[in-house]
Amino acid sequence: MSHCSAQTPTRLIVIRGNSASGKSAAAAEIRRRHGRGLAIVGQDNLRRQVLRERDVPGGANIDLIDLTARFALDRGFHAIVEGILCADHYGAMLTALIADHAGLAYAYYLDVPWAETLRRHASKPQAAEYGEDEMRRWFRERDLLPGGLEQIIPASSS
């Protein structure tokens, strides 16, 4: 059973950025405004919760994210794929996912500088789970997908 009307193509939205850049919050707000029929394919959920896997090149979560997004889209759901999704590990998968999607596809990179990343992290519920050292190892300045696929959203954007 399709969740979108027959004439409405599904939408794929990819939201990437460093830790604490607002990816999950943006996805949650889009879902709140849209309602049912929208799948959030979260990297943290699939990699850390479902598989309990470290973020490594060729990790099983890369294919699971791809399969989950494609499944949702094929079943008529709009899909948001969100996470840090560093370009060197996830770039090929995301580029193919975007290219293969028959409906509308949008990709965004939330560009938040290091100092603002730290400030935002301090206000997160999981701030005690990991700190500045871990975040510094994860932080990648302007880690954009190849081919100019992403619209860059600055930290000043609401």
Contact by Cβ (8 Å): 36, 50: no
The size of the chain, in residues, is 158
Query: pLDDT by residue (tens digit) across 95-140?
Result: 999 999 999 999 999 998 887 777 776 666 666 677 677 777 778 8
| Interval 84-97: pLDDT, tens | 999 999 999 999 99
What tokens were used for 56? 């490594």
DSSP labels, 11-26 = EEEEEEESTTSSHHHH
Q: What's the whole-number average pLDDT of the chain? A: 89
Pick the closest to residue 116 from 79, 153, 82, 65 (CA basis): 153
Report the predicted TM-score, pTM, of the whole model to 2 decimal places: 0.88
